[in-house]
Structure 1
Amino acid sequence: MIKAIISDMDGVIYRGKQIIAGAQDFVDRLHSSKTPFLFLTNNAEQTPLDLKLKLEHLGIHGIEEENFITSAMATAMFLRSQKERATAFVIGGGGLMNELYNVGFSLSESHPDYVVVSKTANFNFEMLKKAVRLIDGGAKFIGTNPDMIDPVEGGNEPAAGTILAAISAATGKKPYIVGKPNSLMMMLATRKLGVHPEEALMVGDRMDTDIVGGMEAGMKTALVLSGVTTPSLIEHFPYKPDYVFNHVGEIDLAHL
């Protein structure tokens, strides 16, 4: 029995600056059925408040800050479980720094325990040089998410994965990445909701991140065809979702 919903956002609730058909109905049904839910995103730049305001601006209402889990939040939760009162050198924005502060981390450029990397428009050669030296000096290399590009108005732009690749090339070390498709992020989300993975449904538009991550975490999965994956692409993967819908408006927990 499905007791909770974990859902991707881009390609599921909205696409660019457009709400996807049925998205508000989907949220309304979650509330009316008292189904716990989280919106899960690899975005590490924005805080839950930023995301709430973004959805409201697009016309999606009934979402609170506690209804989000970002890759920055998941990274902070993971690192807090590994070591208390640690220090980190951060390449990333305010969303990531805020989450690390929230779990008691200090930001430091002097012998930090971790180098934590996410997407930032401020990345430069000095940051690259500093990260390389710190990792070579023993700091553990952490990435919030592996996305190489992000779709934006007018095309694509480099994302966290490109920064991670530069640091990895210079150090010869690969980062441990917390965000999707790592099933760890899905498991952290179910823990936050207080349900077992098999009691949760992962809703997403990508076979290679949302569906595989949910599957590997032991969750039921629902693919929506409103984003990246098309019906013809499903057959190219060696695994399949439990459900396929045209959009989230078709998802009715009473009939799953």
Structure 2
Amino acid sequence: MYTENTPEKLQALQNIRCFVLDMDGTFYLGEQLLPGSMDFIQKVNESGRRYLFMTNNSSKNAPCYVQKLHRMGLNEAGDGHIYTSGQATGQYLNAHFPGKRIFLLGNTFLAQELADFGVTIDDADPEVVVVGFDTTLDFDKMTRVCDFVRAGLPYIATHPDFNCPVENGFIPDCGAIQAFIEASTGRKPDAVVGKPNRPVVDGLLERTGLGKDQIAIVGDRLYTDVRTGVDHGLLGILVLSGETQREDIPASPTQPDLVFGGLSDIIPYL
């Protein structure tokens, strides 16, 4: 059960060298920066630490998020500040299926991210199936991916989210596509890469070159952001600036290591 931030818990922040930040609900909300976000980035930089934005959304690549951050005034942000589930999937494929040809259910942004990791896409004679958040999905693609999954090819998904929040509600995300495939083929993915799963943590450790005790995962969702940290030995920090409310914490199976109202509330402890 979560207890309020204690001096012992807060002391763990002193060892953190990289803050891995969720974006919507943590750093910004929709198209607006959350109060204190820029102050937090400034303090992280001044203290000699790093920050990295991490997202499960595999329908966009790093430059898409860099452009958005620039529109909001974070002009120092570059591709190196973004970590997507697509990038983590590229790392996973190189580690577990090096040189294998893949069938990709995904849009051009995901295809480019995988190509950046040297992954070969082959829609005709693949050896592995990769399913992402495909915003160009059509019935022909669904039929083909189900054929390959039904044939028994290794089957990897970029992330588990069933819905993606948009301005007027939600749209079906990668998890919903996986549910369609399971209904047709009887198979779930052999591995799901994105948070809160182990492959994205392994990729994060490789990407940063840091130890688990040097990384904090910060986000507004207990079941994805915070769970990624606490389930895998990283510091899991909840901010109450987005989806989760304080009254949600006691009943959650995932209990955060630390809780703050927003990013700026972390500043005094850095």
Instruction: Assess same fold via TM > 0.5.
Output: yes
Alignment partner, residue 60 of structure 2:
46
Tell me whether 1:220 sits opposite 2:235 in the alignment. Answer: yes
Alignment partner, residue 249 of structure 1:
264
Q: 1:102 to 1:162 in 2, by over 3 A?
A: same
- 1:120-135 aligned at under 5 Å gives the runs 120-135=134-149
Matched residue type, 1:47 = N
The structural deviation recorded for 1:168 is 1.3
Alignment partner, residue 181 of structure 1:
196
TM-score, scaled to structure 1: 0.95
Tell me whether 1:97 sits opposite 2:111 in the alignment. Answer: yes
The structural deviation recorded for 1:36 is 2.0
Name structure 1 gaps, 5 residues minimum. Answer: none
Counterparts of 1:216 and 1:85 in 2: how far apart (Å)? 31
> Percent identity between the aligned chains?
33
Tell me whether 1:232 sits opposite 2:232 in the alignment. Answer: no
Is contact 2:127–2:153 with CA below 8 Å preserved after alignment? yes
Is contact 2:223–2:254 with CA below 8 Å preserved after alignment? no
Is contact 1:84–1:104 with CA below 8 Å preserved after alignment? no
Counterparts of 1:194 and 1:91 in 2: how far apart (Å)? 30
Name structure 2 gaps, 5 residues minimum. Answer: 1-14
- Please list the CA deviations of residues 189-225 of structure 1 after superposition, one character each: whole Å capped at 9, or x if unmatched: 1321111011211101110011111111211111000
SS at the partner of 1:5? strand
Alignment partner, residue 225 of structure 2:
210
The structural deviation recorded for 1:120 is 2.0
The structural deviation recorded for 1:184 is 2.4
Counterparts of 1:183 and 1:21 in 2: how far apart (Å)? 32
SS at the partner of 2:171? strand
Matched residue type, 2:129 = V
Matched residue type, 2:145 = A
Matched residue type, 2:228 = G
Alignment partner, residue 192 of structure 1:
207
Runs of 4+ in 1 over 4 A off after TM superposition: none
Counterparts of 2:126 and 2:208 in 1: how far apart (Å)? 32
Counterparts of 2:38 and 2:269 in 1: how far apart (Å)? 19
- Please list the CA deviations of residues 129-176 of structure 1 after superposition, one character each: whole Å capped at 9, or x if unmatched: 101111122321111111111111111111111111101111111012
The structural deviation recorded for 1:114 is 1.4
Q: CA RMSD in A?
A: 1.4
SS at the partner of 1:251? helix
TM-score, scaled to structure 2: 0.90
Is contact 1:91–1:118 with CA below 8 Å preserved after alignment? yes
Is contact 2:228–2:236 with CA below 8 Å preserved after alignment? no
Counterparts of 2:244 and 2:180 in 1: how far apart (Å)? 28
